[in-house]
Amino acid sequence: MKSKVLTAVFSGALLISGTFLTGGSTVLAEGNGPNGPNYGGNETIKNERLHSYEEMVDFLEKADKRSEALELEVYGQSVKGRDLYLANFGIDENNPTILFLTQQHGNETLTTEGALKVIKNLTSNGKQVQEILNNVNVLIAPRLNVDGAAGDVNFSLEDYVAGTHTRYNANGVDLNRDHVERNQPETQALHENILQKYQPDYMIDLHHQGTQTTLGNTGELVSGSILYPTNENVSPEVLEQSKELGSVVYHAVDSKGYGLLSKYPGGNAPTISRNGLALEYGISTLLLEVRGMADHYYEDYVLGQKSNGYLIQQVVTAMEASLNALADDSIHSADTSFWETLPESNYSAE
């Protein structure tokens, strides 16, 4: 059942108005230190800062109009008929191609907010942006699970804390377990019209995890977790490049002072994109899990809005560090030895 304490909070917060965070810096709140922001538990949960589907589409269309570098594509439709969008920043066969994929799970929202911020930055005319776009093919697929994110599904969300977002698509399917059979229109479109068409070399799959994930047994709450493909049949070259990508992300986030990452204890099934795409297409993949979710039927998975700014900025940091490392080719000199000692995630919730 929904929490009686939290239900009252949502009475005025169920509509998503889509105010986007702007500016290039994040102001740290009092009490923050090297182990991450002072999260404060499940404080007031509001979704006003999240883009609704309509607002996301409006944002993307405006970005497309103001930028010659961006080609906005519709690559498929969801179960409920919503268009799926790809922000395509150029395809040069001489450049590496990276795909950023967000919201395979509809209740994992801040990754999309970070991706939209990166799209906005890539439509500027700065020298650093031009250096990236001259040397890297950038594909950003924000919000694969558009129906689940809208709560427009063929099952009840009454047991969810907010009743607004769900992990599953409209048919109740976990899209990140559909990368072999590809029975759902969202995963079919992703594979046929992005993966097979553009053949990316790298992919970062952006997700969220629960709020009480810790760095091993230290008791320190992490701001996120990362993992490379773990299926034993992934080629050594793809695996090594995945670890290099993880190194870039880890060290970029770690250097910020408000981020702390653990090693995600993920499985090896090929139905998961991190494994399946590495196996089928030879894509070097990295999973980035960010702390907290917008909605869930487990209350301790749901994070209030207080930490949203930090976590969105963590996504931006990870994405932009990856682009810079690919643009100057420094990714291939990334030190992967940290993986050997990076503590695995633990979960401290009772």
Active site residue ranges: 289
3-state SS assignment for residue 19: coil
Angle of helix 127-135 versus helix 110-122 axis, rounded to 10: 100
- Which residues have a Cβ under 8 Å from the Cβ of 275 and sit 6 or more positions away? 229, 230, 231, 234, 267, 268, 269, 285
Three-state SS sequence of 90-106: CCCCCCCEEEEEECCCC
DSSP 52: P
Q: Which two tokens stand for residue 64?
A: 């497309």
Contact 104, 145 (CB under 8 A): yes
Contact 212, 104 (CB under 8 A): no
Alpha carbon 313 to its chain centroid, in Å, reads: 12
- Which residues have a Cβ under 8 Å from the Cβ of 289 and sit 6 or more positions away? 207, 208, 209, 213, 224, 225, 226, 264
Q: Which two tokens stand for residue 148?
A: 């689940």
Q: Which two tokens stand for residue 288?
A: 């980035």
Place of tokens 């701001």: 223
